[in-house]
């Protein structure tokens, strides 16, 4: 009986660890009502935190070194998607500067991600 309990406990722990991938970033994402779910590919993630600092794949970077680091990461796998995760409390100017810097350097293939909004519940009369 104890063996079964340990097996169930192990199963649930592994299940929870695998389900919590997007929540590892310390970014409050806006809720979106349109769009598509992302493919099952590990993207290059650039996060803009609430205080305006940049984080590239969980490592803090400056705005001056972001383009060089992105080019290094994409040199190995050029088809890897780039996603921008912007905290709802961050300044929009930081996002605009980042997009301007990326497009100015020829990196114009990226996506801005958010979390799915809960479905609206309209009571029918």
Domains by residue range for the chain, with CATH: 25-116 (3.30.420.270)
19 pLDDT higher than 80: no
Range with the lowest mean pLDDT among 7-16, 33-42, 49-58, 66-75?
33-42
Q: Are 66 and 46 in contact (CB under 8 A)?
A: yes
pTM of the model as a whole = 0.61
What pLDDT is attached to residue 61?
92
Mean pLDDT of 36-41: 67
21 pLDDT higher than 70: no
Question: Rounded mean pLDDT of the chain?
Answer: 80
Mean pLDDT of 90-107: 87
């Amino acid at each position: 009986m104890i063996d079964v309990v340990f097996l169930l406990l192990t199963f649930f722990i592994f299940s929870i660890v695998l389900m919590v991938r997007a929540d590892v970033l310390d970014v409050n994402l806006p809720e979106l009502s349109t769009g598509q779910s992302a493919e099952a590919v590990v993207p290059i993630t650039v996060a803009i935190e609430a205080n305006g600092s940049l984080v590239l794949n969980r490592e803090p970077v400056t705005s001056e070194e972001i383009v060089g680091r992105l080019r290094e990461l994409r040199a190995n796998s050029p088809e890897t998607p780039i996603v921008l995760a912007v905290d709802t409390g961050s300044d929009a100017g930081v996002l605009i500067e980042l997009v301007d810097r990326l497009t100015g350097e020829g990196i114009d293939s990226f996506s801005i991600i958010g979390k799915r909004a809960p479905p609206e519940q309209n009571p029918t009369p």
